[in-house]
Amino acid sequence: MDVAFSFAGETLVPLASGALFWPAQATLLVADLHLEKASHFARKGWLLPPHATAETLAALIDAVEASGATRLICLGDSFHDQSGPDRLLPEARSALQLMTRNLDWWWITGNHDEDAAAALGGRVMTETRLGPLVLRHEADAGDRTPELSGHFHPKLVIRQRGRHIARRCFARSATKLILPAFGAFTGGLDVADPALRAALPGPAEALVLDGGRLLRFPVV
């Protein structure tokens, strides 16, 4: 696990899928699944592939199995909208219910989904503390407690030798760590975007997992 890094005294392991494993707590964290985003569009006449939810859940199951986590925490916007859970296809619904039964499952509420996921099992909370870290959906620039959050969908955008490369990334400062969006149909926001910089005061870094290495890029 040479990609592990230290944050607020804790050792954290980023996974290529965009999930974060916290070995000391046997906890896997993911942000912004945006489940049922495709069917949200379908209602408006844009018939996007319905496979995205299955794709996201399969990646989630892989991450749980690879890490051996016993607790799973979703950092908000797990569904694209409030009525998302009602639109789950039967297979996806059972897969989710099975996971919420077998794992210690925490839903942190986001701005898109609020407490919609409660019906699927697991605990629902607006924010919480775990060890020395506070967990919430959207970073609170005024809070100095070390914090894990999602919401911004950070991605690294670089230009090297005429090519434009964009990758999902973790964005961190000394006391804040923002997870990339985990959902299959989630886009990203440049880590250098003013909105994201405002949420991440002080010197910041983008962390990208590539080919088994953890690459670090200062954010200017």
Partner 1 sequence: MLEVAGRGRHALLTAPTGAGKTLAGFLPTLADLVTTPHAGLHTLYISPLKALAVDVQRNLLTPIAEMGLDITVETRTGDTPSDRKARQKARPPQILLTTPESLAILLSAPESLTMMAGVRRVIIDEIHAFGTTKRGDQLSLCLARLQKLAPAMQRVGLSATIADPESWAGWLAPDADAAAVEIVRAEAGVDPEIDILAIDDRIPWGGHNGRYAARAVMQQIARSRLAIVFVNTRAVAELVFRDLWAENDEALPIGIHHGSLAPEARRKVEAAMAAGRLRAIVATASLDLGLDWGDVDLVIQMGAPKGASRLLQRTGRANHRMDEASRCLIVPGNRFEYLEALAARDAVAAGELDPDAFRPGGLDVLAQHVVGLVAAAPIHPDELYAEVRSAAPYAGVTRDAFDRVLDYAATGGYALKAYERYQRIVAGRDGLLRLRSAALARQWRMNSGTIVEAVAMNVVFGTGKPGRYGRKLGQVEEYFAGQLRVGDSFMFAGQTLEVTGFDGADIHVRMGRGSPKVPVYAGGRMPMTTRLAARVRGLMNAPARWAAMPDDVREWLELQARISRLPGLDDVLVETFARDGRWYMAVYGFAGHPAHQTLGMLVTQRMERAGLMPLGFVASDYAMVCWSLEPVDDPRPLFDPTVLEDELADWLAASPFLRRAFREVAIIGGLIERVQPGVQKSGKAMSVSADLIYDVLRKHQPDHLLLTAAWTDARGKLTDVARLADLLEQAHGRLTHVRTAHVTPLAVPSMLTIGRERVGAEADSALLAEAEALIAEALRFD
What CA–CA distance (Å, rounded) separates 14 from 1? Answer: 10
- Sequence-ordered list of residues with C-beta below 8 angstroms from that of 104, at least 6 positions apart, any chain: 70, 71, 72
Closest separation in Å from C-beta 43 to partner 1: 6
**Which listed residue (15, 64, 112, 191) binds partner 1 by CB under 8 A?**
112
For residues 109 and 124, give the distance between their C-alpha atoms in angstroms, rounded to a whole number. 7
The one segment of 21-29, 40-48, 62-70, 125-133 that binds partner 1 by CB under 8 A: 40-48
- Structure-block tokens of residue 92: 């996806």
Q: How far apart (Å, rounded) are the C-alpha atoms in residues 184 and 51?
A: 9
Q: Is 157 an interacting residue with respect to partner 1 (CB under 8 A)?
A: yes
Q: What secondary structure, in 3-state letters, does 57-92 show?
A: HHHHHHHHHHHCCCEEEECCCCECCCCHHHHCCHHH
For residues 175 and 186, which CB has a smaller minimum distance to partner 1 in the complex? 186
Position 188 contacts partner 1 (CB under 8 A) = yes
Select the residue interacting with partner 1 from 16, 54, 66, 130 (CB under 8 A): 54
Q: Which residues inside 10-39 make contact with partner 1, applying CB under 8 A?
A: 32, 34, 37-39
Q: For binding to partner 1 (CB under 8 A), which residues are involved?
A: 32, 34, 37-39, 41-52, 54-55, 77, 80, 89, 112, 152-153, 157-165, 167, 184-189, 208, 210-211, 213, 215-218
